[in-house]
Amino acid sequence: MPQSTLGVLRLHQRDVHIDARERFAAHAASRVGSDVLVLSTCHRVECYVAIPPEVDELAWMRDRVLGTNDGHVPVVEETGEAAVRHLFRAAMGLDSVVRGEGQILGQLRATYDAARERFPLDPVLNEVVQHGLHIARGVRSSTSLGQVRSSVGSLAVETVVACLPDPSTATVLVVGAGEIGRLAARALISRVGAVRIANRDAARARDLASAIGAIGQGLDDLDRAVGDADAVISAADTRGALLTEELLAHRLMRGPLVLVDVAVPRSIAEPARALPGLTYRSVDELTSVGGAVHDHDVVLAEERCVEEARGFIRSWNGRAATPTIEALSQRADAIRQRQLDRAFSKLTHLAARDRRVVEALADALTGALIHQPIVSLRDDPNRQDAARALFGLKPS
């Protein structure tokens, strides 16, 4: 049967402002399904789409994801091998702001697992993500990509430390104990005077705090935590509901405050970002300090992505020809067996060893004769009708 083609519509920090990514992320979340997988992180929003056969791929994909927003979102569009290659590059961290960072691998895995719990994903989405995760783990374990420790969390820490007059005496509050918050808190503990962690699940905040020597709490006493802080790293999807303009204005009455907002959508509403005395930075304003990845390893990883994408597409497309290949093999086997039976009926004097030699010869000849047609069908499944006519097989 005809199979889906992989496509991707994506926005990245290098292409558009965070405002556009926030709007696209909100819209894309409403389009998810068995044929659409949405990977949304601090720096990117990517919609991986299973495009059905025999359609205008780009037009169908835009309509499926963008709908009435078509033409208003400056997305990058790719299909087929280019889309597969991009997913592999993303999984390896090659498309990240911090080149080679490993956080994206966990984000892709979490997105994939969450989608599978909700929908029976199209086979092309299932297989391409699984393959991407597999090769990314292998490349990271065998190259310097696996040595990169920088992340969005560590970039937020660098920004906070640079903005504080005396980090060694400062108290920094981290809102959110998810992956980014955890990375930020661990990077902060040796750089500032004290670290507090506030999270909706207070037990999770306390567990993290206990492991690194910080103070953990729930969100019920956030006012006091912000009041005691010299800086805040917000890594929670609160969309202005917690770090309100009123709360921040009250805190700023006692002095300046640094606030680094790494959540997307941003956790600080627009009016609050311009409060006097507030030094506000969004995720787009964080500067990468580079990683430990070697240029040679990046080149090898890029080449691996190209090779793996090409191989995946060849293998995936080849599956469309499976029914014809199976029919051809079965017909060849039937002919082989019929001719052997006819020959052995006339060669009754052959010993068992000689019969096995003749059978092996027949097997080898049959395999050799159908090998090239099978390879050609896998390379170009569109040849199925011609192959069925040529070898006398029933039409598919």
What local confidence, expressed as pLDDT, does residue 290 receive? 53
The predicted-structure confidence for 32-87, as pLDDT tens digits, reads as follows: 999 999 999 989 999 999 999 889 999 999 999 998 776 677 899 999 999 999 99
Of 219, 231, 242, which Cα lies nearest the Cα of 280?
A: 231
279: which residues sit within 8 A by CB, 6+ positions away?
163, 256, 257, 258, 259
Task: Report which of residues 323 and 266 the model is more confident about.
Answer: 266
- CA separation for the pair 37, 26 (Å, rounded): 14
The token pair at 142 is 């065998």
47: which residues sit within 8 A by CB, 6+ positions away?
8, 9, 10, 28, 31, 36, 37, 38, 39, 65
The predicted-structure confidence for 157-215, as pLDDT tens digits, reads as follows: 999 999 999 999 999 999 999 889 999 999 999 999 999 999 999 999 999 999 999 99
What local confidence, expressed as pLDDT, does residue 8 receive? 98
In Å, how far from its chain's centre is CA 164? 35
Amino acid identity of residue 49, one-letter, is V
- CA separation for the pair 7, 81 (Å, rounded): 9
Q: How confident is the model at residue 2 (pLDDT cuts 50, 70, 90)?
A: low
First to last CA, the chain: 9
DSSP 186-214: HHHTTTSSEEEEE-SSHHHHHHHHHHHT-
392: which residues sit within 8 A by CB, 6+ positions away?
331
Q: How confident is the model at residue 332 (pLDDT cuts 50, 70, 90)?
A: confident
The token pair at 359 is 């059978």
Catalytic site residues?
42
Q: What domains are there in the chain, each with its CATH number?
A: 5-148+293-317 (3.30.460.30), 152-285 (3.40.50.720), 321-390 (no CATH)
What local confidence, expressed as pLDDT, does residue 383 receive? 78
Q: What is the pTM of this model?
A: 0.80
- CA separation for the pair 17, 11 (Å, rounded): 10
Does the pLDDT value for residue 289 go beyond 70?
no
What local confidence, expressed as pLDDT, does residue 192 receive? 96
Q: Which letter does DSSP use for residue 165 in this model?
A: S
- CA separation for the pair 341, 379 (Å, rounded): 34
- CA separation for the pair 278, 189 (Å, rounded): 23
The token pair at 96 is 């990240």
Burial label, 141 (beta-carbon count in 10 A; 0-12, 13-18, 19+): exposed
Three-state SS at 370 = helix
**Average of per-residue pLDDT across 368-393:** 80
The token pair at 173 is 């509050």
- CA separation for the pair 215, 197 (Å, rounded): 6
Element (H, E) at 373: helix 352-379
**Average of per-residue pLDDT across 338-350:** 89
Three-state SS at 238 = coil
What local confidence, expressed as pLDDT, does residue 79 receive? 97
280: which residues sit within 8 A by CB, 6+ positions away?
259, 261, 268, 273, 274
Amino acid identity of residue 393, one-letter, is L
* Angle of helix 295-319 versus helix 123-142 axis, rounded to 10: 150
Does the pLDDT value for residue 30 go beyond 90?
yes
**Average of per-residue pLDDT across 132-142:** 95
